[in-house]
Structure 1
Amino acid sequence: MSGAVSSNGPDDGGLLQLAQAGDHAAWSALCRRHAAQLSAYLGTRLRRPAVVDQLVGETLVAAWMHLAECPDGLTFPSFLRRAGATAAMKWAKENPQEPIDGPFPPDRLGDCAVEAGEGVSRLHTALATLGEPHRMVLELHWRGGLTGESLASALRLPLVAAESLLAEAEAEVLSRLGG
């Protein structure tokens, strides 16, 4: 997430330059690389998966329209998070009657929806009782797939502090699920 060279092709900086020049394939690669992290980021603020999915799409469109404002690949993740936060605030303003929290949709659970639904309901309840930092680190790690330096970068914490926060959050949610 930090613009480092990956085994999947050019780094964020190279893809950003190509995308800013109008290369749609480069933009698609950036979107694929960062969509899960954006979804996790938005999910920590708005715990309604269908709305988060909609906002990810709107954010990517808005980011494409303002791509020239992103100075380099290192700042692309924060550029995308700012665009996502703007989309989320706009949604909240346009939908003041809508709750920001909702149960996980059963249709996303597949064939074992009944048994999984009960577990997901318990997990959702446990996550809802966590503080914002713990919810955010779990969302970024579990849903966004961030680990190590990329998790620390997204949280704007040193690596040791990010790993400690993740361990605390996982221990907290496990203790709440156990009791």
Structure 2
Amino acid sequence: MRRVDIHEELPDEQTLLQRIADGDSMAFALLFKQYKQNLYSTIFHLTGSSGMAEDVLQEVFIKVWMHRARLPDIINFPGWLYKVTEYAGFKVIRNNRRIAAQLHVLSNDPFPPAEKDPVDIFIEKEYDQLLEAAIAQLPEKQQLTYRMIKQQGLKRKEVAERLSVSPETVKWNLDQANQSVRNYCMAHLGLTLAFMLVNSLQ
């Protein structure tokens, strides 16, 4: 399998997608480099948060790599990629109770089941399973903190009161949980991909 030099001129997209489907991690790095800025801007526009934008961007490209074998069969890859990105961004907003209260129009799924591509549904399910496995392996306090903030949308102060700890402890537990979840997901996607994604998002 021929590896692509990340500094070489970008090949045509169909060729690039086929190389990624064949497991070429450097071709994947080229694809990431090509789209990351525009996708980041799209997510940032939706969420208003650089941290959320980075998390969603990483999630999107993890999904792309996990299901790379299907990439050559996607008719309109840019359109598909932006659709996946927008859905991931809306999902983050929907899970953030404070933002969702202000943007109640986003409370419904932006892509109703009837309009979802089967590949999108499969990708979402697979990634959610991986994420849930990552959360489940966290220590109890970190897991509770992660779920309360990330999934239930509680504020750190609320979590501190519920767990009878200081806000600083909540922050520490959340930071540790985020790092552990990220490491777990990356470990299940391969070390080469993990290195590229982590360094590209710094």
* TM-score normalised by length of structure 1: 0.46
Question: Which gives a bigger RCO, structure 1 or 2 (Cα 8 Å, sep 6+)?
Answer: 1
* TM-score normalised by length of structure 2: 0.41
